[in-house]
Amino acid sequence: MNEHLQPGGKLPNEAHLAKELNIGRSSLREAMKLLASRNIVTIRQGSGTYVASSPGVVDDPLGFTFIPDKKACPGSA
């Protein structure tokens, strides 16, 4: 909040955030996963973590993105 990041804005890297918040990196990772599940941040592998373009608006309210093999699900097309 102090950084006044806008939707799409890139967050500092993991090491910097952990140091700034005085927490361990594993705690930070868990927090980021939680924020990503609530569509507050978007994690792009190899690129970084960004403020979601529509924070709080869930694109997948039923959680289908967490199913590893969508073809193996009963009733899937």
Tell which residue, 49, 46, 56, 10, has the closest CA to residue 29: 49
Average pLDDT for 38-48? 90
Are residues 49 and 32 in contact, defined by beta-carbon separation less than 8 angstroms? yes
CB-hemisphere CA count at 13 Å for 77? Answer: 0
Position 74 pLDDT exceeds 80: no
Grade residue 68 by pLDDT with cuts at 50, 70 and 90: confident
